[in-house]
Amino acid sequence: MSALTRTLAGMEETLTAGQAHAVVARGLTKRFGATTAVNRADLAIRAGTVFGLLGPNGAGKTTIVRMLATLLAPDAGQASVLGYDVAAQAHQVRQLIGLAGQYASVDETLTGAENLVLIGRLTGASRKEAKERAKELLNRFRLTDAAGRAVKTYSGGMRRRLDLAASLVSRPRVLFLDEPTTGLDPRSRNALWDIVRELVADGVTVLLTTQYLEEADQLADQIAVIDHGLVIAEGTSAELKAQTGADTLDAVFLSLTGHDTREEETEEDDELAELSA
């Protein structure tokens, strides 16, 4: 019996306690018309770690994130975040998570500080609390000097840092990062990697989808590879390399999926969801 099977066998206890594993999914399924975007996915993400979800474009990564973040209802299966069911207890889940998608969700006409204060107020903080939290995050993400500038004047790296800061306003315990470094230059990407490491050191659990396998190799404690909606492999980077006889994650990815990551376009992962909307 595999470690994942043993974990899932005790899922009922995990769903109630929500301690050892921050996120657990069993048989998670989502269909768009006749197409099954996610097919009976099983995941178990330990608290305080980075979990990398890899796969070709259209494999189902973003659909999984959207279901776990309560933005899409599963058609079958069950999932929990910190012990709360994503379908039956969506309100509780939303109070515990943060989400940074593939594209910046901040208002470009507002300043960086105004964006964060607005989000703080919308999540129930007082004006004073919202301003203090905004100041704290702007400093942490090295955006203090640009705090009073309109976001439309920010570089791509600055916008991504602000977007990540926005996802942390409510102090989430679980953070979903859906291809957060797409389109960034290497320096900005490395800066975001450092921020993710800091968050995990603070006890935050991170689910990361990425097209950059070096990113997963650098950050992820555990990795799952998904293709055509199916989880086809899971393990540490070293375990996946050993299983496939590959020297790099790129070679692992090619061996498991038949896709060369260098040929993958950096476009939104799940066009099926958009087309079905």
**Using CA atoms, how far apart are residues 258 and 224, in angstroms rounded to an integer?**
16
Mean pLDDT of 123-129: 94
Beta-sheet strand order (sheet of 21-32) = 35-46, 21-32, 76-81, 84-85
Domain boundaries, the chain: 3-96+172-276, 105-171
- Beta-strand relationship, 35-46 and 21-32: antiparallel
**Using CA atoms, how far apart are residues 3 and 164, in angstroms rounded to an integer?**
32
Report pLDDT digits (tens) over 163-177. 989 999 999 999 999
For the domain covering 3-96+172-276, report its CATH number: 3.40.50.300
* Helix 112-122 vs helix 156-167: crossing angle, to nearest 10: 20
Q: What pLDDT is stored for residue 56 in this prediction?
A: 85
Amino acid at 147: A
Residue 67 CB-density burial (10 A; 0-12 exposed, 13-18 middle, 19+ buried):
buried
Mean pLDDT of 61-90: 96
**Using CA atoms, how far apart are residues 273 and 71, in angstroms rounded to an integer?**
11
If pLDDT is split at 50, 70 and 90, which confidence band does 271 have?
Answer: very low
What distances in angstroms separate CA 73 from CA 88, 113, 143, 146, one per listed residue? 10, 33, 36, 38
**Using CA atoms, how far apart are residues 258 and 250, in angstroms rounded to an integer?**
11
- The pTM of this model reads 0.82
Query: Which token pair is 177?
Result: 């990062």
Q: Where are the alpha helices (DSSP H) in 73-223?
A: 90-94, 112-122, 127-140, 156-167, 186-201, 213-219
